[in-house]
Amino acid sequence: MSQRTLVLVKPDGVARGLTGQILARIEAKGYTLTRLELMTPTREILEQHYEEHRGKPFFEPLVQFMLSGPVVAAVAEGDRVIEGFRSLAGATEPTTAAPGTIRGDLGRDWGEKVQKNLVHGSDSPESAEREIGIWFA
């Protein structure tokens, strides 16, 4: 079943020069990148994207982190790409993410208020369509 998902290389991944490695892993898995843009997100985009977390203690630190530098936004397509990319990305916590995953191989805990975990991937077809609409309006 062909799907689309939003993939974000977060500011920490871009700043560390990992964008190419991350995108190469997506392509090596057999998914197709159909949209790709380097951008500095606005607060408006981030507030829409993270709407479900508004009011939670980590909301503002997360928005501030995502405003801290450029982000690479991509749309990846392929059979079961949502599940596949989330598996490729690894657990949210880089310290416990499995080796072989993006976060397990390239991420670590920096001891800061917000988890800098390199990438975001949509968690459902509905989220993917909503998020793609936000980032590629």
- CATH number for position 41: 3.30.70.141
Is 53 known to be catalytic?
no
Query: Is there a domain that residue 38 lies in?
Result: yes
Task: Look at residue 57 and tell me if it is in a domain.
Answer: yes
- Predicted TM-score (pTM) of this structure: 0.95
**Has 32 been labeled as part of a binding site?**
no
> Residue 12, CB half-sphere, CA atoms under 13 Å: how many?
19
Q: Which residues lie below 8 Å from residue 82, measured CB to CB, with a gap of 6+?
A: 3, 5, 121, 122, 123, 124, 125, 128
Q: Is 103 annotated as a binding residue?
A: yes
Q: Among 4, 49, 116, 120, which one carries the catalytic annotation?
A: 120
Q: How confident is the model over 2-39, as pLDDT tens digits? A: 999 999 999 999 999 999 999 999 999 999 999 999 99
Q: Domains in the chain: how many in total?
A: 1
Question: Model confidence over 86-96: pLDDT tens digits?
Answer: 999 999 999 99
Residue 58 labeled ligand binder: yes
